[in-house]
Structure formats: structure tokens, C-alpha cells
Structure 1
């Protein structure tokens, strides 16, 4: 009656879920239980399918029971389960109103038991899971898991990513992969392209992602056709936490401080009452009386000088700096999640919220150099000391929901919100070249916000050998708001009196950036005999609006004593129109609208016909356009809007070869031909002012995209579940790399040009091992180390005659990066102690011009210590100490240290519960 056959069919689309063991009265159909013929254990989610007389099917429940409702008739049934021999039962008769019982026993398939495939969501937060993914990956990759991050003192993604092989961080927020950042790298959040909230940076600032939201950080270092074509340093994939398999509620709290800041006086200013939340309460907003249809300028829009003075008095008089006591930093957070099971359906969720507040002090020594008389060195032009105080707050939240109505369908929704607000007050005191003292004070507030929403789906279809479809749709919005950044300068006169400098005067500016990005992708995977073909497409668009308004206070004559007053008196209402006047100084280029469209299609083949050789080959076609229109209604100079449009169409081939010397050893090599595009501002044929560095920047509409040849090789040996040894080499050849160049000698104004060529190559070594391999005495110790050696060179040709070196390393590339860590763990007591060390080699921070040497960032050695202790079953205490060496951070130009400061030794204590 029963016939055996191999279980290869999948579940039909009208598949029903199993119900209770005993059918209700009046049930018409077949019911029973499916078990293992040898062990008698029940088989969960085995398939019972009517193959003749109907096409219905059902999965067994957690007890192996099934009910298959069928109309009266005669049926053949097929029962099958992974790695078991399927059975076919013929001639079953179903009568109206009667339930026919059929218990089925399946025997293990002797030819299939060597490979058992279990469908489940791996915990991608675990180090072992990450290494398994890396071993099976089609491309060269490195990653750090949430489990590993928990062993470090790192609080944000920018802190954690520097532990990954060849990753360095500049400015505390931007990652360089293999010495390359900005346009040469792409950041993906759960597989979707992430925009940057910075107006002049293509890189995403990673300090906006708290580590509590992260499942892992994965860096892909060799290219495959299913990745975005902007690739040279690599692709940073940020994976956020998914819903847990069982209920968890985890509150946490931490406090931290450092020797440089905590309980010391920090420079501050009156910015409102919501600074502790990172919000502006309206104090810094542009007054409502300021015209919104034109510039604040006498003679424009019907305004008189009296009108301008009246409106000027509405600006807040918040120029004077003050001091406040820097309190310890604090972080609060909680997460809750669960997976609910309704028969064979699953509904999972995870919600997480975080709040952190930080205060800091930085005291820096600053030197402004100039060339010496014979043009062979540098001498001191100006010296100064900067005392800077900061207050920042971060709010973030995450919601992840997943629904699996049946075995072959997964739907999920993900939403992320993160917002950082930082106020900064800086007082600089120095000397003019003639020795006369000067001072400058600046106050600013910058908020950055990211919202990201994504809907994803996965389908397994019973066609073309179990074809899989996956898709995602996303919408994100980034905002950057800088309301009322203001600055004022003083200079000491011959009589010893500090006097207001009318040039540049008192300056204040307001800027906003808003960018919305939306798109989606669809991919199909078809498993054939020895070949896995994956093809798909992507469409992604973004719309950006940027606007800035500048205002300048000047001394207009008369009332001479006003120049010697303190800032809060100089700009008081009594002096406006009585010696002090305001002028709007907004330029035509201080506003732009931009659009980016990206459309791509690809096909990729993963071929395993010649085991142990695996070949992954593919090609991608990527079409894109960039459109930028400059102009603002607030410009003091009448001008026409300027439009720049660039479009590209690129073919991007990729080939990766993996040769398995054994189950745990891979040899990899790969080649790809990828690209890098100019940014919006680099293309714009206009002049805009970089007020941070005090120089003008001109775009270049003649820029062309960069094409890059990438070659990679790696040998990797996975010694154990959490152990690996790896050695990698890479080589990159850039055609038409985009470089920042000096175009005017006196002001050192900047523009951009395509250099003829550049190269970058290097070696990476990595080790993660348990020291118990050496002797049982060291069983509780684990060690890790990674070293990256990089050399790069850019040939500027004749495009940058004012730069000192026409051939030099790429800006920001360190010749070496070293990470060491040692972990001691005692499972009996739940104690874990980790010691970490990080150092990067000397790198170019700013390019030297007119004979002046390049500004170099000196090596910085950092030692961190983290101790975690399990407190009972449901609580954990973590203590950390970071930057124990407390070295100076130094920028050096020639023999002069142009910037020097200590970041301080930091300490933290955190307590988490699992309720």
C-alpha cells in the first residue's frame, strides 16, 4: 500500500497548518501522526500531501499530528520529511462526515543522513555564528559580533568597528576600510543603502548607532555582483538585533567619566533648557521677524535700516560663554522581545529604547605654521590654546517584527530611530604674529537624526527546484540642523585693551539639511544541480535639500567704546544701530536641491561542480544620475540658479574563487572592477564657503567617476567554533581618482580634480585562538590579534601644482593598524576579563601646500580593560577602563605640533538585567 520515494517536493501554496490531534465532529478528511520508524519520536513540520484527487497539503504540528481536510473521494497521499525516505500511500477513501485515521512512520534516508539541513534563524549575535557565515561566504569578509562587542568598552558602532581587521576611524565617527573612506565605501543597514546626514561627507557617521542596537558589524572586502557598485575599501554591513526566540526583558543602566572632564569646569553657553535631551527648545531658532522671502538687507523687500535694526534686536543675545561643572555620563536602556507560536505560525517582536547623556572637556594647544624664509621648513605664525566644552545626548529606538504564517513565507518589518544633539562652546586664546594677544569664542549646536523603515519578505516556491524570492522596500530620512552657530573675535591693541575685531566681525549662521531616501530590491535564487543562480534588481532614489543663512555684525562707526565691551554688551539692543549693525551675508551657493537615482540589475552564479573548487562569478549593470540645482532666495547677490547633472552607466564584473583544502580551510582569490562617484558638492560649478576651515571650495562639473581594479587573496583556517587564522593580501588600482586640490595660493581655496592614477596594496593577518591548545593550564584564556600593513600612492600629475607633494600616500591611510586582545573567562563564576590594545600608524590628516609639509596624525596607542561579572542568573555587572596610557593626540607639520591634546582616561560601570 505504501511506496517509498525521495522527498524532494516542496509545500504547495495552499498549504494548511496542522490542528489538534482529534478532529472535531463532522470532520471530513484524513488525520493522524507522523513519527520516526526507529526512535518513535514525532516529526515536526513533516509534509502530508494529497498528490492525486487533490493538491492540498498540511504540516504536522509540534506533536507530529496533522489533519488534512478533503472532500469525499479516493486519494493518494505522499508523506515526506527532510533526510527521511518519503512514503506514498495510495487508494485512501474519504467518506462524507468521516475522519480517516492514518499514522505514518518514516525511516531515515541512509544516503542523506550525512548532511542534515535544519531551517532556523541563527543567532547572528554570536561569535561562532559569524565565523560560520564567514567560512561559507562567497566573498572575503571580516566581522565583529554583538558577543564580541560586549567584551569591549565600546559604546557606539564607531568605537566597535575599529576592532575589525583593517578598519580605522577618523574624527571619532567615520570609518576607513583598508585606508579608504567616503566615496570609496558604502554603508548598508540590514541590506539597504544608508544615506549620510552630513552636508560635506559621503560617509555615514557611525557614532549615531549605540552598540546595544547591533547584532554585528560585517565588512565585505571583495566584491560580488549583488552588492552596490560603489566599492573600493569595502562595504560595511550594519545588522541590527532581531527578535529573540523566547521572552526577554532587559533593562540596563551605566555611568562613566574620564580624568579630563568629569567634575571639571567645562565651557558652556546659554542654549536653552532641553540640552540634556539633545533638543533645542527654540532659543537658537531664527527669529520669526526675519524675512522668509528674501535677505535681511536694507533696500531689499521694502526693508529700511530701521527695520533691519529692529529685527536684529530680536536675535538672542547669547554670545557670552560661561562655565559649568561636567557631571558623569549616563546611559539608560531597555529591550523587550519574544516569539509567539500559534500552532505552526510564528510572530516575533523586539523593541528597544536607549538614552545617553555625555559631557566633555578638551584642552588643546594649537599652532598655525608658515613657511620659513628659505622655503625648506616651517616656523610658528600663531599659537593658541583652545578650551572646549561639550554636552551631547542620544535618543534611539528600534522595533523589529517578524511573522511566519507558514514554512515557506517570512515577513518582517523593521524601524529604527536615532537622534544625537550636541552643543559645543569653544574659547581660543592666542597671539598674533606680532605677539599681540587675540581671542575667539564659538558656540554651536548640531543635531543629527536618522529614521529608517524597512519591510522585507522571503518566499520559497515549489518551482525550478525550490526557487527562493527575497525582497525589501525601504524609506529613510536624515536631518541635520545647525541653528545659530555664532563666533566673535577680539584683538589686543597697543594700549593693552582687548577690542572687538570688525573683520571678520561677529558671525552667526543657520543651516539645515533634509534628505529622504526610498527604494527597494528583488532577488531570485534558483538552486540547480551544482549551480546556484541568483539574479535581481534594485532601485533607490534620494532627494536632498540644503540651506544656510549667514549674518554678520560689524562696527559701523561712532560709539567707539562699544568695541571694548564684553560680547553680551556689544550686541545688546542699545548698541544695535548705535555703532553695531548686522548684515545678512548669505551667498547664492548657500542653498541647493539635489536628487540621486540608482538603478541596477545583476546575475550571479555560485558554481560547485568541481568540488573542492567553488566559483562565484557575476556581472552587474548600474545606471545612475545626479542632479544638483544651486540657489537661495536669501542671497545678497542676485544670481541665476545653476544646474549640474551627471549620469553614468557602468558594467561591473566580479569573480571569486574558493578552494577548500579541507572542511575548515579555504583559499580565496577574487577580482572585480568597481566605481566611485563624485558627491553633490564636488560636482557643483559654484563657490561655497567652508566655515569650519575658513576657506572657499569650488565644485568641478568636469569631474568623471573613478574606476577601480580590485584584486584579493586570502587563506583562512577555522580551527574551532570561535577560532580562526587568516592571511590576506589586496591590490587596488584607481583610474581617475578624485582628489582635493589647492587652487589659490593666498587663501588656500580648494577645488576637486581627477588625478591620473593611484594605487593601494597591503597585507592583513588575523588570529583568534583558545590558548588551551598550548596547555590545559591556559584553557580559560583566549587571544586575538590582527595586523594590517598598507601602502598607497596617488599621482597628481599636473592637476595640483600648489601641493607640496605631487606623489604621496592617500589621505587618511595608515601604513599599519594593530589590534590585540586577551580574554580570561571563568564559567563557574561567570567572570570575564578582557584586555585590548589598538594602534594605528602615522597618516596624512591634511595635504601640505606651497612647500609646507603634509599635516600628519601621529600614531596613537590605546589600551582598554573590560571586566564583566554575572550576578546570579539574571544580572550582569560590567566595569571598563579605556585609554589607560592617556597619550596625547598629536597633529604634526614638519617639526611643529600644530594640534595637541589629551583625551583622558575613561571609566564606566554598567548593570544589566534579564527579567
Structure 2
């Protein structure tokens, strides 16, 4: 209830809190603060209490700023120490500040931290067993944190001390590029720093900036033209449960972007990674072990040109809707008598009409690192990060759907209210310098209140229709993991990593309604009559439990790594369908069937001679599924030299055994026998990753690996459910086979300066038994899955990130980024020609579903050095891609469009910041086409937002 109260207060304040309130006279605040605090103690409304507290906030902020400005501050140095030869983090390296007693040793991640350093200029001595001692001079400490990342050279014979001048790296993006340079696989990254420069609110928004990635339906990730089912997802290294009923996918719109430390997209496999991805593995990494105490608060509000202050339709509200939970308003009554169910079910058939307010979001995060033991030894440390984020947005999308091949033309609007909030609680404990235990928790809740209202000319039935659909969908996902990292020096440097994780997801579609009124086209003056209308309740639960363990042992010329995974996934799905049928046999009156939606299904209108409430659910509308996976791997990491050239070979194999089981009852009786579908596979998946170090800044990478793509439980279940939004039945295929993929990658990458990169890649994938979606036009539209015999996907991509500092010192504040991906794919399929009575099957080819022929991202980042103003302009475009595979009708394609976003950020003092953003600056519409004719067009409008941030 406290969360509901806070959200309600902020939501109501959103329309009348203004920026000038932040700059009230300090003297008035000083004398008024005592009065405010006394008033807060008295009994008053929560809204008034919050407002009074808010008025004292500038006084508190300015006071903190004053003391921070004049207080004497010590500084700190932190960073990561890595091997120059392999790029791996080094454990147990000693860092000493010469002339002082201050120092530290690196931990399991190669990280170190030295605190409470008085202002001045120092020299650092870095030494480790087997590595040449390095001395870094001219390290300036001025009260602010210094990040100093260091590479060490292996001591193959006695070397003199290496003396260098300090090179400070203060950019998280630069650190991630350094991580990418030393990685063992082909990968791309996006940092929290880069996300901050964009208007991106969710992880799906942020990921579309990555080379070769596109986002479909604002939530599903396609990598290098490979659709989401061929890609993998992990959260902090743990597998996550699926969040969608109809496909194997993860909805990236459920993870708020400000809970992320970075996102890593791995594009080539190694044996220690899961074997079920081909396009890429998206690793979302949430906020981790902090280097210092941090508290940050963000508040933003936005305006959409289509939506804000305009009338929109939403479902009838429940008291917990504001936090994404139904309060029982939409709950199924659960009675055995159908008429009793109809009477007890709330009359929520008619949507409510509201004026859309401004969108709002806020977040609060806090973290700290606590040393346990002697100061600066940093052997025992406890760290925590907690965060809360919340977003409430509204959207009105005008739509036109010209389904000309079946003779239907629709026009109208889709309205949506989206709620998304997340909680993060990550705890870590480092001890003895070589051990780390972590407990990470992430919970996200989302809800979409969606209403569509279309007018329609159904020429096939010679009718004019009015469609109204009301859908409330709520999704919950929790991912928790307990993990450990340990190094045993007495066992020859053996390191062990283990992880146990639990991921649960729940999706509920309570009380989905579809209403149709119709009249004949040749009777335009007659009233509309209610058709047979639909109501349903659905729920899906999924739970994934996994256990991982990895052993790594250094040999004389290589590293040996081996380990395994045990994973179990459980899922169940149930949906109940009901039809509301006019009782024409009982003599229902015309006056009843033509009532407005607000009144037609009132309680008194059910019964004989009125409306009947009839369940149409089948036994096959429910299923239970299980998936058991066991895997083991062996991997060698071998650095070597050949003709004075340096190489690194990472190779090995992974074995995965999978058993998938789907059970569907044959009847509705409690003890009904089951129809069982079972799919068993054992796969050996070899991989090779070879890196040639042309110089200290340039890598040439080659990768070859095998991977698989298994059907999801939902795709194997013959259960069908009706998609109200697309007007089609979605059903599985128990005859699906797993797909097998062979992948080849080649990349040349160079890092000419800190924060800069140039990369060129080519890739090719051979897919056997590719799993595709198919749309079948019969008396009803049906979407299902099938295996294509073979498919090929290939292409190339280029990435550039370059500072313009070579043009002069001032231009060093301008950074250009860009990436371009060119993709070609071909999949074989059986094309059916002719009519339903006389068909001819031919083998043809087409692109992979969801594949774009090209993807473009570009951006310019500018930072004005004096006022610290930053301006960022971002551009995104994808090529024409196959959206739906047709059967007896033509395929449907999504047409390209240019998306331009812009952000302007202005810091005020050291702790306060304002950011202005514009999304979809060109106001481009989404267009689907069929045989070069517009099938559907959707307008989303521009969105303007302002965000205020305060941190200390």
C-alpha cells in the first residue's frame, strides 16, 4: 500500500510541479523548514504531506552541496589490472603508493581500490608473481575518484622495472571497449554511460543501438537478421523464463534500462556458453558491486503528440492497476452454471473514456561498499545495490488495416496504458582477497491495458462492423541467483565458479473481451446488431531452475576449463473461452440486441429469451510442459606465438542432452488420460575461437561453432488460443524438430585510442530444419510453426566509433558513432498454389522471417567543455523485413522507416542534472505491406520528455 500511495502522489503532482519550485529563496526555506516539519507531524492528507516535504528538498540539497564544496576531501584510485598478453584480469597483484603506507591487492575480478588518499601527486608500484614490476608516475589526486586500468607484461626472463606515466580512464564506455578487446569471443557491448545519453527507457530500446540488432514489437530482439527464437538471453549470467505465450522469446521491454550496468551481445560461442543460440546471446548485467557510496533519484515526464491531453479508451479500472496488478475486478467467477457466471462476472464490457495525462517515470537507487577489517587492505568487503524504478505511459495509435486478400478493410485506433516497475537488490561479499559470494535479485512487473476500436467493411460477408477489444495483460518476472567465485592458490591456482538460479514468470490475461456489432452494407440506416461475442480468461506460469559450475586450472602453456549445467523448466497454460450468444430460438427481442455496449450485457439481460453465456473451451486448451537439460563441456585457452606473431586459441566442445515433454488432457475430466508429445536430443557442439593479435590495438578473430534451436513447450503443444489483436488462432505443432546450425564468423577490429573502435565482420549460418511461423488462411486465420528443410543466413557488418580530436582540441568533445549491417537469407519452403480443391506444391525460397536486408545506426555525441552541456542525436533504420509468412495468401512485410531521437543534457552543480529528449523526431509511421500494397499503417507520434536527476 505504501508503494501505491507514493506512486499516486507522484502521479498527481506530475501535472502541477514546476521547475521554478526548485529555486525558491534559500532564506525563506531556512525559516520555513521548521514550520514545514511541524506540519508534517500533524494529521494531513498524504498528498499535502508529500508536497511539504518536497518544498524542503532544495534546502537540503543546497546544504549538502555547501558542505561538499568546502569540506576537505580525500581521493581514491580504482581500476582493473589485466594481462597484456591475454587481456585476462589478474588476481593478487599488489598496488603500493610509494612514500605512503597505502595500498591494495586485486580481487577475483582483477579489481582494486585504494581509499582516503590525501590530495597530491604520487607514484604507484604494481607487482605480481610472474609479471614485470611496473611503476606509474604523475598520478594526480584532487579529491575526486581516479580510475586507472593497468596491463601487466609476463616476466619470461628478468626485466627491469617498467616506468610509465599515468593514463587515467574515466569512461565506463572505454572500460567496456577494453573488455571487448580482450574477450575470447566476438561480441558487442552497450554501457550504462551510453544508455544515459539516449531517451531509452527499457533494455529493448537500448539494444537497438547495438550493431546488427533490430527490435520487433518494441520488445523482441533480432540479431543479424535471425529472429528472437534463435537468440539467447541471460540476466546476470542466469537463464530467464519466457514471458510470451505464443513464441520462444524474452520481452526486453520488461527490464528498465536504468537497472543495467551494461549489456553484452555475444555473437560467437565458446564451450562454456549455452548451445541454444545462433544469432547471439544477450547478457543483461544489472548494477553490481559499487566502488563507493551512491544515491540517485530520477524523475521524468513526457508528452506524446498523438496521445497527451487527447481522449483515449481504457478498460474499467481496478484499485491496483497503477502498479500493474489486477485487484480481482477481472477475476473469473468460477461457478459451474454458465448463466450464474455471466451474472456474477462484472459488467466491464464498455471501455471508459479519459483524457490522457502526461507520461511519468521515476527511479531511486542506492549502493555502497563497506570495508571490513584494516583500512585499505580491502581483503574483506561487503557491497550492496538497491533500486526501484517505475514508469506509467499512455499511447494512442491510429491504425488502418486493409486485408484486401480476404476482403476486409478496418480503420480506427489502438489505445494503451503501460505500467512497468522493477525492484533490484544485489548483495556481494568479498573475503580473503580470493573469494566472492553474491546474492542477486531482480523483480519486474508490467501491465498493458489495451483497447482497440475499429470500424470495418467486411466485403466477403457484405457487412459493416464495429470491433471493440479490451485486453488487460499483466506479466511478472523474478530472477534470483546465489553464486560464488573462489581461487585456491595451494591447488595450483585452481578457480571455481558456481551459480544456482531461479527464474519465474507469470502472465495473466484476465477477462479479455471481443465485441462485434454489424449491419448489412446495403442497409446503412439500420441499427447495428450485436454478434456472437467472446470473453476469455487465461494464465501462464513458467519456472526455470538451473545449476552451473565451472572449474578453471592454469597449465604451463594453457588454461583448462571444464564444467556443466543442469536445468529444469516447468510451464503450464490454461485458457477458458466463453461466447455470449443472442437466444434467437428463445425469442430475444431486437431492442435488446441493438442496445449500446454500456447496457447490453447487464446482469438482467442474461437467461432464456435474452443472452446465453456458453463455454466453448476444449480439453486441449490447457497443457503442462517440462524441459530437462543436462550439459557438460571441456575447453582449452591457449596463447601461443608463431613466427613472432601472437595468437590465442579457445577451443573445445559442449554436449547437451535435452528432453522436452508436453501433456495435453484428452477430456475435461479430472482423471483424463493425456496426449503426450516428447522430444529427445543429444547434441555435440564443437567450437573454435582464434584471435590473431596484429599489434597491441588490433585483433583479427575467426570463429566456427555449432548450435541448436529447440522448439519451446508452447510450440509443441497443439493447444490453440485466439489472438484478439491479430484476429487469428495461434496453435502449436507436435511434429516440430529441433534446428541445427553451423556458424562461421570473421572480424577485424582495432582500438586506435581510448574510447575508439573500428570493426568489420562477415558471417554465415547454415540452418537445418529451421523453425518458422506460418499463417494459414482458411475459414479462420491460423498461425502455427513448421520446419523448413534448410536455410542460409550471411552478411557483413561495420562499426565505427571515432573522436574528432584529430581536427583540434575543441573537436575532441565530438564523438561520431555508426554501424551498418548487410544481411541476406534464404529459406526453402513448400509453396501451395491453386485453390483448396486443386493445389500444387512447389519448392521455393524466401528470406528468413523477421530478417532485414540492412540495419543502420548512427549518432553524434557532443559535450561542451565549459558548461558541460551534452547534445546527442541518434538515427536508426532497418530494411524491409518479412513480418508474416502467408499460406494461400501473400507474405506480409514491414517497410523501412527512419527513426531520429535527440537528447540534450545540462548538469547543474555537481549533483543535479536536467535532460530533454525527443523520440521519433520525424514522426514516421509503421507500415506493413502485402504485394507492394499497404496492408496496415500505424502512427505513434512524437514524444517530448524532461528528466531531472539528483545524486550524491
Per the TM superposition, whether the score is higher than 0.5 is: yes
Q: Which runs of 5+ in 1 are unaligned?
A: 1-16, 18-33, 48-58, 65-79, 87-107, 297-306, 372-380
- After superposition, the C-alpha distances for 1:387-430 in whole angstroms (9 at most, x for unaligned) are 12211211211011111121011111110011001111111112
Q: Provide the residue aligned with 1:913 in structure 2.
A: 950
Q: Provide the residue aligned with 1:359 in structure 2.
A: 394
- CA-CA distance at 1:835 after TM superposition: 0.6
Confirm or deny that 1:42 pairs with 2:97.
Answer: no
Confirm or deny that 1:179 pairs with 2:212.
Answer: no
Seen in structure 2, the aligned counterparts of structure 1 residues 679 and 478 have a Cα distance that, compared at 3 Å, is same
Contact 1:431 1:437 (8 Å CA) reproduced: yes
Q: Provide the secondary structure at the position in 2 that maps to 1:131.
A: helix
Contact 2:773 2:884 (8 Å CA) reproduced: no
2:404 to 363, 369, 373: 369
Q: Provide the residue aligned with 2:852 in structure 1.
A: 814
Confirm or deny that 1:581 pairs with 2:616.
Answer: no
- For 1:480 and 1:803, the matched residues in 2 are separated by 39
1:315 to 345, 358, 361: 345
- For 1:769 and 1:524, the matched residues in 2 are separated by 39
* 1:217-616 → structure 2 map (5 Å cutoff): 217-287=263-333, 290-291=334-335, 296=336, 307-343=337-373, 344-370=379-405, 381-433=407-459, 436-493=463-520, 494=523, 496-502=525-531, 505-557=532-584, 558-560=587-589, 561-577=591-607, 578-610=609-641, 611-616=645-650
Seen in structure 2, the aligned counterparts of structure 1 residues 908 and 634 have a Cα distance that, compared at 3 Å, is farther
Q: Provide the residue aligned with 2:766 in structure 1.
A: 733
- For 2:554 and 2:719, the matched residues in 1 are separated by 52
Q: Provide the secondary structure at the position in 2 that maps to 1:793.
A: strand
- CA-CA distance at 1:556 after TM superposition: 1.2
- CA-CA distance at 1:196 after TM superposition: 1.0
- After superposition, the C-alpha distances for 1:856-877 in whole angstroms (9 at most, x for unaligned) are 1110101111111111011111
* 1:877-888 → structure 2 map (5 Å cutoff): 877-888=914-925
Q: Provide the residue aligned with 2:184 in structure 1.
A: 138
- CA-CA distance at 1:46 after TM superposition: 7.3
- After superposition, the C-alpha distances for 1:177-213 in whole angstroms (9 at most, x for unaligned) are 1111232111011111111121112110000011110
- CA-CA distance at 1:112 after TM superposition: 7.5
* 1:699-848 → structure 2 map (5 Å cutoff): 699-741=732-774, 745-797=778-830, 806-848=844-886
Seen in structure 2, the aligned counterparts of structure 1 residues 84 and 321 have a Cα distance that, compared at 3 Å, is closer
Seen in structure 2, the aligned counterparts of structure 1 residues 691 and 347 have a Cα distance that, compared at 3 Å, is same
Seen in structure 2, the aligned counterparts of structure 1 residues 115 and 697 have a Cα distance that, compared at 3 Å, is farther
Contact 2:861 2:870 (8 Å CA) reproduced: yes
- CA-CA distance at 1:735 after TM superposition: 1.0
- CA-CA distance at 1:880 after TM superposition: 0.5
- CA-CA distance at 1:245 after TM superposition: 1.2
- CA-CA distance at 1:317 after TM superposition: 0.8
Contact 2:223 2:280 (8 Å CA) reproduced: yes
Contact 2:365 2:385 (8 Å CA) reproduced: yes
Confirm or deny that 1:630 pairs with 2:664.
Answer: yes
Seen in structure 2, the aligned counterparts of structure 1 residues 799 and 339 have a Cα distance that, compared at 3 Å, is farther
- CA-CA distance at 1:277 after TM superposition: 2.2
Seen in structure 2, the aligned counterparts of structure 1 residues 313 and 603 have a Cα distance that, compared at 3 Å, is same
Q: Provide the residue aligned with 1:876 in structure 2.
A: 913
Q: Provide the residue aligned with 2:174 in structure 1.
A: 128
1:653 to 682, 686, 689: 686
Confirm or deny that 1:168 pairs with 2:246.
Answer: no
Range moving further from structure 2, 667-676 or 176-185 = 176-185
Seen in structure 2, the aligned counterparts of structure 1 residues 284 and 278 have a Cα distance that, compared at 3 Å, is same
Contact 1:669 1:714 (8 Å CA) reproduced: yes
What is the TM-score of this pair, normalised by structure 2? 0.80
Seen in structure 2, the aligned counterparts of structure 1 residues 771 and 495 have a Cα distance that, compared at 3 Å, is closer
- CA-CA distance at 1:348 after TM superposition: 0.7
- For 1:846 and 1:818, the matched residues in 2 are separated by 23
Seen in structure 2, the aligned counterparts of structure 1 residues 134 and 802 have a Cα distance that, compared at 3 Å, is farther
Q: Provide the secondary structure at the position in 2 that maps to 1:569.
A: helix
Q: Count residues in correspondence.
A: 804
Seen in structure 2, the aligned counterparts of structure 1 residues 803 and 780 have a Cα distance that, compared at 3 Å, is farther
- For 2:813 and 2:195, the matched residues in 1 are separated by 19
- CA-CA distance at 1:728 after TM superposition: 0.2
Confirm or deny that 1:664 pairs with 2:697.
Answer: yes
- CA-CA distance at 1:648 after TM superposition: 1.1
Q: Provide the secondary structure at the position in 1 that maps to 2:535.
A: strand
Q: Provide the secondary structure at the position in 2 that maps to 1:719.
A: coil
Q: Provide the secondary structure at the position in 1 that maps to 2:176.
A: helix
- CA-CA distance at 1:499 after TM superposition: 3.2
Contact 2:227 2:849 (8 Å CA) reproduced: no
Contact 2:430 2:437 (8 Å CA) reproduced: yes
What is the TM-score of this pair, normalised by structure 1? 0.83
- CA-CA distance at 1:83 after TM superposition: 7.2
Q: Provide the secondary structure at the position in 2 that maps to 1:197.
A: coil
Q: Provide the residue aligned with 1:51 in structure 2.
A: none
Range moving further from structure 2, 793-802 or 126-135 = 793-802
Q: Provide the secondary structure at the position in 2 that maps to 1:204.
A: coil
- For 1:435 and 1:831, the matched residues in 2 are separated by 61
- After superposition, the C-alpha distances for 1:611-636 in whole angstroms (9 at most, x for unaligned) are 5111111100011111111138758x
- After superposition, the C-alpha distances for 1:406-457 in whole angstroms (9 at most, x for unaligned) are 1011111110011001111111112121764210111110001111111111
- For 1:745 and 1:551, the matched residues in 2 are separated by 22
- CA-CA distance at 1:241 after TM superposition: 0.8
CA RMSD of aligned residues (A): 3.0
- For 1:60 and 1:782, the matched residues in 2 are separated by 30
Q: Provide the residue aligned with 1:892 in structure 2.
A: 929
- CA-CA distance at 1:272 after TM superposition: 2.0
Q: Provide the secondary structure at the position in 2 that maps to 1:773.
A: helix
- CA-CA distance at 1:849 after TM superposition: 3.0
Seen in structure 2, the aligned counterparts of structure 1 residues 360 and 740 have a Cα distance that, compared at 3 Å, is closer
- For 1:526 and 1:798, the matched residues in 2 are separated by 54
Seen in structure 2, the aligned counterparts of structure 1 residues 396 and 685 have a Cα distance that, compared at 3 Å, is closer
Q: Provide the secondary structure at the position in 1 that maps to 2:715.
A: helix
Q: Provide the secondary structure at the position in 1 that maps to 2:339.
A: helix
Q: Provide the secondary structure at the position in 2 that maps to 1:207.
A: helix
Contact 2:666 2:673 (8 Å CA) reproduced: no
Q: Provide the residue aligned with 2:893 in structure 1.
A: 856
Q: Provide the secondary structure at the position in 1 that maps to 2:381.
A: strand
Seen in structure 2, the aligned counterparts of structure 1 residues 751 and 813 have a Cα distance that, compared at 3 Å, is same
Seen in structure 2, the aligned counterparts of structure 1 residues 426 and 223 have a Cα distance that, compared at 3 Å, is same
